[in-house]
Amino acid sequence: MEKSLNQPTLPHAVIALNATEMGVDEGEWDPNHATASLMSTIADAIRRDPTYEDKAEFWRERGRKIKTTQDLLECYYSSITVVRIPVKGRYMKIDEQILKLHEELHKKCSESYRAKRRSRMLSNAEELNVYLQCAFDHFAHDLETPFNFMDVGFKMSTIPLDLGGNILKLAVKMKESGRFYAPKTIFSDLSFMVASCISLDIVRQGLKGKFSNPLMKAAARNRANDNYYLGPPEQILRNFYLDSCDHALDDFCALFWPCTFSNKKGICVNVAERHTVGLMR
């Protein structure tokens, strides 16, 4: 966990406290109350155990505020939930608590699924195996350099070959050249080439003025969402090309340009869509 970059989401921790005595406070059977109670009980553990204190200091150096054990746990987990299971003999209560445990597991799996889908790193079984194999190969050679989830993700999921995808590819290559220090500069420089490509496509597609041919007019209406008057350049850009340009810019900033946060310890090395683990360099 401490040696990874651009991880899509942290796991959720669901703790089942088994064989709980029936004499506990009634509120302890509620997962929210049980979680708050346990976190309160162990709040000072990071100051009593040198191992925990070392871990807390590791994250403090990276800009995280660690005051309690729960703060430290949340560096490794998206959430912590406690569900109490009673001692044997109270079968109705056991059934009730098992149902709550099942509901918490289902809810956390759904949250994790949505988080991975938002970050565009939702894996199937085959892709997950690729990540595991690549991570094994990486750490077999180097235990110090963090494993970058993005590197593997883009080997498996290529950039589309449409206009937006090609703009994005060009922007990524310009970034990799090392001559640019801000997305604004990259997109300002490549705008001339993009404008030239758009102008060429307008000529090739015949997107100039109103269409006199009914068939071409109908096609233009479908492409431009009923706004088929194509005279002004601004309208042509808006109806046919602006979405591709916007998507290229959004994807570049979300997936390829690292966070700009910094402090005396270093700078963040994650991109916006993979900002769960805030490692610094």
pTM of the model: 0.57
The pLDDT, as a whole number, for residue 15 is 96
> In this predicted structure, which of 26-30, 68-72, 247-251 has the lowest mean pLDDT?
247-251
Q: CA-to-CA distance for 98 and 102, rounded, in angstroms? A: 6
pLDDT band at 154 (very low <50, low <70, confident <90, very high): low
The pLDDT, as a whole number, for residue 115 is 82
User: How confident is the model over 166-221, as pLDDT tens digits?
Assistant: 888 888 889 888 888 888 889 999 999 998 888 888 877 777 554 444 544 555 55
Cβ-proximal residues to 38 (8 Å cutoff; 6+ apart), any chain = 15, 17, 82
Give the total residue count for the chain. 281
For 59-89, b where at least 16 C-beta lie within 10 A, e where not — what string? Answer: beebeeebebbbbbbbbebebbbbbbbbeee
pLDDT band at 260 (very low <50, low <70, confident <90, very high): low
Helices (H), the chain: 31-41, 45-48, 50-60, 69-73, 91-118, 125-141, 149-156, 163-176, 183-205, 214-223, 233-236, 242-255
Average pLDDT (88-107) is 92
